[in-house]
Structure 1
């Protein structure tokens, strides 16, 4: 008699028939299918639910594609020759839209700079530098720039639109497919999901093919980076979200917003802490001046390859301090210890790219690419694992104090042994022994006092370094205002502890209090800049209506906006004619104080409070990074980490539903008491559309707001 099919084969056969019916445009009856195969009820219900979710999630994208192909070219707004179709991502340097270049009838990715950031000449210069760096790189693995320009004060540049997904989305999908309980972002479209499904199938059924594929992808990235390095450009922000995988399986490098150009010292310091922490090299995290070069990109690409192999980052610190400590002092777990199927040669390549010292990594990205090609072709690789002596030297460099203390202890033990032997040989009496013990006790006490003083000096140097990082390294980095406030608030807390600890030292008290007052002044200036930054809300009709401004107030607000815009336009000119950075900062702060004072004179106290509520509403998920919001809601460290993860996923997740979906997931992390406090912070939701971006976009009459 014929054998009955096994449950898995039967399930696959039924699901295949359902898919064929759907592709043929035929309706299906889920209840009838389940009734026919009761033994498959769980699998079929899960499949049908997933299909419904997929159809719901891709509906907006299909609609945007129809809008793109229509004669009327409807969209969400227009900038010059470009008609905006939808938002696909945002970051610290701007917002990226899918757009149609009307004159050439081609789809592009349009990156625009926030209006408020353009008020800062240094941020505008950095934005232009990103466009310049990308425009001068013509390589098959680097997203090309088509056009650069500005329209009505809006600075932008257009790039090739790469349809597909980032490697971070691919990793999330592979993780979700491997562990059905895990939460991960859904794929943007069916084609991208098929790519992820194909790669996931290789990971589960043909491990060697999967490892060759990811090695090939990173080889493509390494060759693109090598081309940029040869052109004198260091990316400095290589991470999965900045590496795009198109539908043909080709990899593209994007986002040169933090790039360092050879010979350019005006935009960034060579040791700035830039990029995403989990992929930044040790020299970037520790702000080692003069060491951050093309080998930092090699490290970041190695961290990306590590995550593609293991589906987890090399270091998983729960907060910034723990993560920096791990990157500085710990070695990542060997990939083979997490997945024994990972080939030893590929593990050796990854670990070489992740060496702490730049001199011990691959000297160039091309060498990295060559070793990956050798692995794919089955040839011997050049990389070698470190010897025991090399590991000891590396450990001593990462732990110099412990290593030095060990040497000192060894010397002291040897000396003590010799002294004891001499005492025994000389048969000295009990009095001499007691005297030696007393002297040793005195030395120990003195040593402990010196060590305590050294620890205090070291702690203060570390805290003072935080002040320098805030003022010299982060002051001109876009989107770092919240981080600066958190750093300085921590510094202020430490100095208050120092003042209490040094109560008996009058000279130290004076110096410590002076520094504390300096930090308080900086925090006050940041508060002024933050409050003045809300001026962009007063150019939006929905905000003016919500604030219930009378005709006189509206007229004064319009005059203030026009005056601020004029001042901003007059601040631009030839870079060589701009005043020094310190002078520009002073002028910007004076202008911010003047604008803030004028807004306070125009608005009543009630309207001023409402304006701050509207600002938080417009910020969306980004509002939960504000130190004032964190303090008001009393967010725990684990909550902050989860919220940061949700916000980061939203940045690389294209489509209009990303913003409200991210807000819903963030609010789900809050307790009832925290939700009540959040409602008090934002007040009543505004009626009408409130743009999160401070520039006027003129929507077409037929366009519909994505919020409706």
Structure 2
């Protein structure tokens, strides 16, 4: 910052402001502006930076880092046995530990209770735990448990076998020349793509990370990037950052944060600087002096990556420069759009970001350097004159190229028609393929990813199709509208070819709009993304995280004494299911189907379900059973003679293994009544039986050898009138 302090009083005020801050006082900028109005402009320009630097200076009070430096590693914390230390910082120590109840290795982040002396540190630690625990994304380190035990606050998260990106950068710096290859550029873009997708997920849940930097990005052995350390995360409910609450690593802070502003675009800026550093293997801004570093961030642009390494592709450089633009409105508005451009680069498709023209760059530079811009105004006028002369010369060649241009336009139109037909067929094919893409298991991850790439390729061409559709509708001879909102319901064209083109293009645009919806109930793309996310994590979430539960379930089911109905059945853990235990009434084992919803809670033996609960599967014992209902067949045959009032129907035959045989009816028995009803004809019997079903009782009164007999039996299952 080029402040010359020509006014001695301003210099005195600067010293006074800094000294008061260092004494622990809380002077405000507004206070100084009101008391020195003739210096208000300089104060508003200079003091916020002074306030920031003082805020970021190490405190004289006991810091968490100081507490941690003298804190011996514990042997255990709650259910966790500490194995070794794997990292530490101002927000706690990270240990590799074993959760003894589940026998799994975790990363355990610990904050000693002594650090509770600092309410800010405690609040940030708990905020980090809460922010991370509510997110479940492939590229965000998952949190298993948050708790307090003995003298510690802690939270357990998945142990990542890998290294942080800052260590990767250190290795690159020690091995110059290994960057710059096509393979390295692809790796850098793929790494940033994963982080951008994780940020898009977090931003969609109202969480801004605020400390994206290489040290907070872990890369495992499979090349998966994991975003960690949400200690500085801000949620929507917390509102904007307080004045002076400038956190995070200074080098990666967006310029607007020095004015107390921070939204999702600050995370995009930090990711852009990380990609910049990965490509050129040096920081975009670097200085040992805090004030000078802040001045560089606010007033200068880093050299374009290609000026430091000519091997860096133009499209990748464009993505970087757009994401680190000093003006937040000129950056990618969302992490999703940055991710989409990175994917287009990896797929060798045209990116949507465009490079700034010379005029735009000159305008931006002049806004930051008004004095020098005025000095160059005369040169600008001269350049304008030269440009006019050049355009006159170019006009001479315009007519010669017009015919070529027209032919090229016709060829392009034919190609557009072919592209539309191809895209229409591809939408239909994708919808058909999606219906077959089950189940959501790890072996289908590659197929899901390829499907998503194809779908996103279609969506990237939507704008062009919409432009063509709008142009085509301008050629319509007439149209009709509906009453509701004057929406156009149909378009008429005199040319049948145009009518066919309009019909094809309209259907294509509608299909792609439906494809890009974020609602999995509406959009096939959203549904496939949901399946992909589940497939990537299903092994961990249903098998690895429930090893003890599965071990108990398998042993219980195989134990003939504990579960006799299963007769020693042997099973193994089932991907996608989570054991819930045995139903207290039936004794049968129940399992939650994780892909269909939340895991139900068991209280006093019973499962409690709500609208979010997924399907519950019951393990049915093996064997045979009847399915479906049948009418009741008595299996009785009567003699042909019709009885009189004084006589009864006589049974002439009883079918073996029939309901009549279970009642022990015999040939020669005379039927007096059934269920208290006199039977005079077979029709009476049919009417009676037609109202009976499973569980009902049948009571026969018969004469056998002139002796009254009373027989009864319950109608068996699987009988329905």
- Which structure has greater strand proportion? 2
Superposition TM-score, scaled by structure 1 size: 0.42
Superposition TM-score, scaled by structure 2 size: 0.41
Whose relative contact order is higher, 1 or 2, with alpha carbons under 8 Å and at least 6 apart? 1
- Which structure has greater helix proportion? 1
